Every structure is written in structure tokens, then in C-alpha cells.
Amino acid sequence: MGNRAVISNRKAWRDVAIYVHWNGGRPSIEAFLKYARHKHLRDDDYGLARLTQIICNYFGGSLSVGVGNIDRLDTNGDHGVYEISNWEIVGRRNNDPSYEETDPSGEYEAGVYRVVAETNDAFFGKGLSDIDIPVIDLPMPE
């Protein structure tokens, strides 16, 4: 049981992909990608790490997200595979048509995006120079 999907960018990430057990419908995936686009993330392996962070921050806890070789992920269930490039969906495969969701008003995607932004802005809005890092004095060896 779930609402599963795999996000793949074969050109940039090769055989590595992201698995989501929940929120695999197109409106949620579009919201994750939109946030990555708005944050001007690189479309490469660093972007893979940051997109994973965005999704994990959204879910919280320690479940529901995986990263691995696409051949070992569940690509045949629910929403199948979203092929992406430059943070846009460019193709789909192995998706069950009965799971295809529509969001004609855009309200659901907007709601997901709002929560994605709320949970991620604290991480993506600051750099190390914006964080107070405690400094301690260590004795110098003689």
C-alpha cells in the first residue's frame, strides 16, 4: 500500500533515482521540482542530493524516501517513473493509468508547495555565514 513513484534523471544522475512511498502523484512531484527550480539547484548529482533533502524535509521522520540504483527500486507500482530534466517532468513510464491524478485548479499542488517551502526555507534560505557557530578556545600545545 502506498502512493509510490520513482524520480529519475538518467542524463544527469545515470542509474540513481529517488523513491517516494507517499505523495507520488503528479501534483506532489511537480511541487518538489518547482521548489528545486525556484532555489536554482544544479541539475546534476548535487541536485539529486538537494532534491532528496527537499523531499525528506517535507516528510520528516525517517521513512518514505529512498535513493538507489533504479534497477533495484519499485518502478512498477502506482505512479511508476517520472523522468525529469532541468526540474521538469519530461516523460513517464510504468505508471498505472488508474493512479493518474489531475489537479485542474492547481490547489493541491499549491498546498504541497506551500508546505515544501515552509519546511525547507529554513535550510535553503541560510548559508553557513548566517548561522552562529560557537567557537571554543583550545589550549595550544607547548
At a CB cut-off of 8 Å and minimum separation 6, what does 21 contact? 2, 3, 4, 63, 64, 65, 66
Q: What is the pLDDT of residues 96-133, one digit of tens each?
A: 887 777 788 889 999 999 999 999 998 887 655 566 76
* pTM of the predicted model as reported, rounded to 2 decimal places: 0.84
For the chain, what is the mean pLDDT? 89
Examine the pLDDT at 95 and tell me if it is beyond 60.
Answer: yes
Can you give the residue ranges of every domain in the chain?
5-130
Q: What is the pLDDT of residues 3-60, one digit of tens each?
A: 899 999 988 888 999 999 999 999 999 999 999 999 999 999 999 999 999 999 999 9
Q: How much is the pLDDT for 133? A: 67
Q: How much is the pLDDT for 46? A: 93
* Rounded-to-integer distance, Cα 28 and Cα 34, Å: 10
C-alpha cell read off for 108: 493541491
